[in-house]
Amino acid sequence: DTAVSQTPKYLVTQMGNDKSIKCEQNLGHDTMYWYKQDSKKFLKIMFSYNNKELIINETVPNRFSPKSPDKAHLNLHINSLELGDSAVYFCASSQDEKLGIETQYFGPGTRLLVL
């Protein structure tokens, strides 16, 4: 009954490859996010989707493309992987905020290592 799940948990790949990370939430939330945590544990927002529409798109390379087939899923596709893409990627979700400031719930993370 995991609230926010990500697959895979670990991803080791070669430079130049294309890979995807999947995220699913079963909380009925309407907004989902992708964060990147670097080797120094600094966390930075990458993308956010609200009801399948992009509402935040921070200055990440266009090699990164979020795809949301429905509001329970927000996948992250990465083209032409580079060494600097090695990081932990976290998916998160939150509820509509008509009644107050909602908590963001995080997935367990995907540890990406580019060789």
Partner 1 sequence: AQSVTQLGSHVSVSEGALVLLRCNYSSSVPPYLFWYVQYPNQGLQLLLKYTSAATLVKGINGFEAEFKKSETSFHLTKPSAHMSDAAEYFCAVRRRGSARQLTFGSGTQLTVLP
Task: Write each residue from 52 to 81 as x if it is in contact with partner 1 (CB under 8 A), else as -, in one continuous string.
Answer: ---xx-------------------------
Residue 69 class from Cβ within 10 Å (0-12 exposed, 13-18 middle, 19+ buried)?
exposed
Cβ atoms of residues 91 and 23 within 8 Å? yes
Our measurement of the distance from residue 85's CA atom to the centroid of its chain's CA atoms, rounded to an integer in Å, reads 13
**Is the CB of 15 or the CB of 113 nearer to partner 1?**
113
Q: Does 31 bind partner 1 (CB under 8 A)?
A: yes
Q: Which two tokens stand for residue 2?
A: 């995991």
Closest separation between CB of residue 39 and partner 1, Å?
12
Q: Where on the chain is the footprint of partner 1 (CB under 8 A)?
A: 4, 31, 33, 40-45, 48, 55-56, 90, 92, 94, 97, 100-101, 103-109
